[in-house]
Amino acid sequence: MTFLATPEAAAPLNLSRRGLLGAAAGALVLGLGARPAASQATPAAEAMPNPFAALLELRADGTARLQMPFVEGGQGVSTALAQILGEELDLEPARLLLECAPPGARYKLPGAPRVTGGSSSVRTSIAPLRRLGATARAMLVEAAAIRLEVPAGSLTTEPGFVVHAASGRRIGYGELAEAASAQPVPAGVTLRDRDKFRWIGKPVARLDVRAKSTGKMVYGIDLAVEGMLQAAVQHAPRYGMEPAEIRNEAAVLALPGVHSLHRLPGAVAVVADRWWRAHRAAETLQVAWREAAPGAANAMPADFSTRALRDRQQAAPGPGITAETAGDASGALKGAARVVEASYDAPLLAHGQLEPPSALASWNAEAGTLELWVPNQAPDMYLPVVARAAGIAPEKVTLHSPPLGGFFGRHFLYEAASPFPQAIALTKATGRPVKVIWSREAEFLRDAFRPAALVRFRGGIDASGLPVALEAEIVCDHLLNRTFGAPADRHDRTVVEGIANKVYAFPNRRVAHVVQRSPAMVGFWRSVGHSYNDFFMECFLDELAEAGQTDPFALRQRLVEKSPRHQALLAAVAELSGGWKRGPFTAPDGSRRARGIALSSPFGTEVATIAEVSIQDGRARAHDVWVAIDPGSIVNPSTVVEQVQSAVAIGLSSALLEEVVYEHGTPRARNYDGYPILPPDQMPRVHVRIIESGAPMGGVGEPGVPGVPPAVVNAVFALTGQRIRSLPLSRARFGRVS
């Protein structure tokens, strides 16, 4: 048994003999994590249940399992991680089984948050994972050297084997696993040269597509355990309200399959043998809801409406909390040749992930332990909250993180917007495992929506038409405060991202966050603040171009003059689209069309987007979207293209269709009929060019989103002369274009 003593916990630990849960005997198990606090190799420690688990387990059958710190939800992280690890370990990615690890510091990668979000998984884990793979490979080689009685330096590997070229002998990793696990963990390993990569940077096929094409992938909503009951809930119409009288309790209890009724915070649950029976019974419940107690958390007033919210945002007094300043914005505005003022707004948005939320909880009263399966993007954030909800210590909780049927920010920790507290209460109340599924309607009532935002812009241009000053006051909730308790007297960087620190760097600028808490439950939504701010900023930039009588593309070229990376990006997207042409022009099918451009810098990646639109039946339609994306460097080009396709779809959906409307304190739409998401017949062709500029690796999952709404809206302006400053576009009516 050897542990490598590295205080920063950056190097692998050998955990092979710790009797890990799920680790096969004779496996080499390596972990990257904090070194154990207690002395490591005492017999007492040996006898104790292992306090560690491991990231990588190499099995006797030659396969390997990686307990990855992230959860797969369609973004392709499991394949990317398999490519990275396989590359250094020298094992076919397809031989790697990847699962989301349980919570625990031992699964945390050094330097990477244990959160699947912020488009961060690959870029934060590539370095430590490469080291992990290389370390395991070195130990296998050492073990083979002993077995073959040759110097380690005479050995090489090929996928899955250690090879002694001189004698033509080769030994499979599986055979070596046990012996390798006894080897000392090498202190330093050499990594593979970039130009020798076989999998990193290559379009390796994703590992899960077959299972997902044949219905074999098991999602949280599909899980079942012995003796399980199922539950559905009727939520209070508004947050904060609590169930009072249930008028038809006896009648509902008598419905087929119904096991029991439970009053929960803000909800009444029906537990039954089958979910649909529980669901129907829950819908049938006639609950009298008591108004929220004074001071109740998240209480939603009965008169809240999104229309009034927008008016209040418009009226919210500045100047707000400064997020970025340079020069003297107000002075420069006074001296500007022209000043343009505009206010833009974007609505609350639902996540609309296709898998409705669920949670399966199993309480063991004797042991005082809880096993919980819940879709989540952050097991370590969930764990203490789950434990608190169950009234037990975190060690008593086994938390599983199943693959996600879409997430887009839905499964961060929003305790009041997740079914797991209900599942915990119900398993404790019934003494049986209980799976709670939220109906689509229950989900639309309880999603944590993307906050609504409004910006007040003032921009000044000089006599040559170049913007010289920008003032932006973004009126929005404080997401970081509400979700993570960040100080509310400092600006929320997620609320200003996309406008603050923009590459254009106007010489005089002031960007501020006017904090205005809205009673709606809010959360992170794919590309977060960029999802609205890039729309605001890139459309307003087009307004400045219009005022200065410059072409919007040419203006952006001028504004990024000092950044070769952005110049290349603009050139790439122009070339990809066949050369910049704004239009309007007549397409081969006879329709009138125009194009719009947007530049955005989300999550460490640079993106330029061009969209081509026409107006059909008074509605905007996007035909083609060209995206040049520069994440610095990449792991899987086909995943990057797929993520851009996906991002364009959701970005366009938000531009054209999506809006959560509240009236009388409740969201009006409760299903996809009232809240349409992009259907297939509105999907544009998407053309992607990946640029690897060599800059530090940026994200991929979200960056394709924010450029789409402004590119589309700018194109609509070029085509119709109508400047849309409020999304979605479906609210606007467009006349015939000529």
Partner 1 sequence: MDLIVNGVRHTVALEAEMPLLWAIRDELGLTGTKYGCGLAQCGACTVLVDGIAVRSCITPVESVAGQQITTIEAIGEDAVGRRVVEAWVAHQVPQCGYCQSGQVMAATSLLKQIAQPSEAEVAAAMTNLCRCGTYNAIAAAMRQAAQG
Partner 2 sequence: MKRLTALLAILVVAGSGAWWFATRIPASPFDGAAPAAATPLERGEYVARLGDCVACHSTEHGAPFAGGLPMGTPLGTIFATNITPDRETGIGGYTLSQFDNAVRRGIGADGRRLYPAMPYPSYARMSDEDVRALYDYFQRHVQPVRQANQASHIPWPLNMRWPLAFWNLVFAPTRPYQAAPQRDAAWNRGAYLVEGAGHCGSCHTPRGLAMQEVALDSSDPRYLSGALLDGWYAPSLRGDPNSGLGRWSEEEIFAYLKRGRNRHSVVFGSMMEAFNNSTQFMTDDDLRGIARYLKSLPGDPARDGAPWQYDPATRTALASPATLAASPGARGYMARCGTCHGADGQGRGEWIPPLAGASSLLAPDAASAINITLNGAGRVVAGGVADAYRMPSLRNQINDREVAEILSFIRTAWGNRGGAVTEEQVAKLRSQTNPASSDVIVLQMR
Query: Cα angle at 600 between 377 and 672, to 5 degrees?
Result: 50
Identify the three-state secondary structure at position 374: coil
Q: Which is nearer to partner 1, 179 or 417 (CB)?
A: 417
Residue 284 contact, options ligand FES, partner 2, partner 1, none, Cβ 5-8 Å cut-off depending on partner type: partner 2
Closest Cα partner for 660 from 344, 345, 444, 409?
444
How far apart CA 364 and CA 550 sit, in angstroms, is 69
Residue 258 touches partner 1, criterion: CB under 8 A: no
Q: Which is nearer to partner 2, 281 or 688 (CB)?
A: 281
Q: Which is nearer to partner 1, 33 or 405 (CB)?
A: 405
Size of the site for partner 1 (CB under 8 A): 61
Residue 74 touches ligand FES, criterion: CB under 6 A: yes
User: Cβ distance 467 to 558 under 8 Å?
Assistant: no
Closest Cα partner for 479 from 531, 441, 438, 405?
531
Q: Which stretch binds partner 2 (CB under 8 A): 110-118, 340-348, 528-536, 617-625?
A: 617-625
> Residues 212, 338, 396, 565: which binds partner 1 (CB under 8 A)?
212
Query: Cα angle at 637 between 632 and 639, to 5 degrees?
Result: 110
Residue 357 touches ligand FES, criterion: CB under 6 A: no
Rounded to 5, what percent of the chain is helix, strand, coil?
30, 25, 45
> Residues 406, 419, 548, 602: which binds partner 1 (CB under 8 A)?
406
Q: Report, in Å, the least distance between residue 247 CB and partner 2.
A: 7
**Interhelix angle for 121-148 vs 173-181, to 10°?**
90
Residue keyed to tokens 């309480």: 363
Q: Which helix (H) or strand (E) holds 330?
A: helix 329-335
How far apart CA 634 and CA 622 sit, in angstroms, is 28
Residue 248 contact, options partner 2, ligand FES, partner 1, none, Cβ 5-8 Å cut-off depending on partner type: partner 2
Helices (H) and strands (E) in the chain, counts: 19, 29
Residue 694 contact, options partner 1, partner 2, ligand FES, none, Cβ 5-8 Å cut-off depending on partner type: none
Cα torsion 641, 642, 644, 649 to 10°: value is 150
Each residue 661-690 as x (binds partner 2 by CB under 8 A) or -, in order, gives: -------xxxx-xxxx--x-----------
Q: Report, in Å, the least distance between residue 720 CB and partner 2.
A: 17
Residue 205 contact, options partner 1, ligand FES, partner 2, none, Cβ 5-8 Å cut-off depending on partner type: partner 1
Residue 217 touches partner 2, criterion: CB under 8 A: no
**Burial of 295 (C-beta count, 10 Å sphere; 0-12/13-18/19+):** exposed
Residue 588 contact, options ligand FES, partner 1, partner 2, none, Cβ 5-8 Å cut-off depending on partner type: none
Residue 406 touches ligand FES, criterion: CB under 6 A: yes
User: Cβ distance 616 to 682 under 8 Å?
Assistant: no
How far apart CA 547 and CA 464 sit, in angstroms, is 11
610-649 residues in contact with partner 1 (CB under 8 A) are: 638, 642, 645-649
Q: Which stretch binds partner 1 (CB under 8 A): 35-43, 157-165, 599-607, 665-673?
A: 665-673
Q: Using DSSP bridges, classify how beta strands 508-515 and 467-476 pair: parallel, antiparallel or unpaired.
A: parallel
Residue 354 touches ligand FES, criterion: CB under 6 A: yes
Closest Cα partner for 207 from 196, 219, 217, 197?
217
Q: Which is nearer to ligand FES, 211 or 354 (CB)?
A: 354
Q: Report, in Å, the least distance between residue 662 CB and partner 2.
A: 14
Residue 77 touches partner 1, criterion: CB under 8 A: no
How far apart CA 699 and CA 705 sit, in angstroms, is 12
Q: Report, in Å, the least distance between residue 376 CB and ligand FES.
A: 17
> Residues 210, 218, 227, 247: which binds partner 2 (CB under 8 A)?
247
264-303 residues in contact with partner 2 (CB under 8 A) are: 280, 283-284, 286
How far apart CA 267 and CA 667 sit, in angstroms, is 16
Specify the DSSP class assigned to residue 399. Answer: E
Each residue 312-351 as x (binds ligand FES by CB under 6 A) or -, in order, gives: ----------------------------------------
Sheet holding 267-272, edge to edge: 258-264, 267-272, 229-235, 434-437, 358-364, 369-373, 397-400
Residues that bind partner 2 (CB under 8 A): 237, 247-248, 251, 255, 280, 283-284, 286, 441, 617-619, 657, 668-671, 673-676, 679, 730
Residues that bind ligand FES (CB under 6 A): 74, 354, 406
Residues that bind partner 1 (CB under 8 A): 73-76, 205-206, 208-219, 221-222, 224, 230, 256, 274-277, 352-356, 403-408, 437, 439-440, 638, 642, 645-650, 653, 671-673, 677-681, 683, 685-686
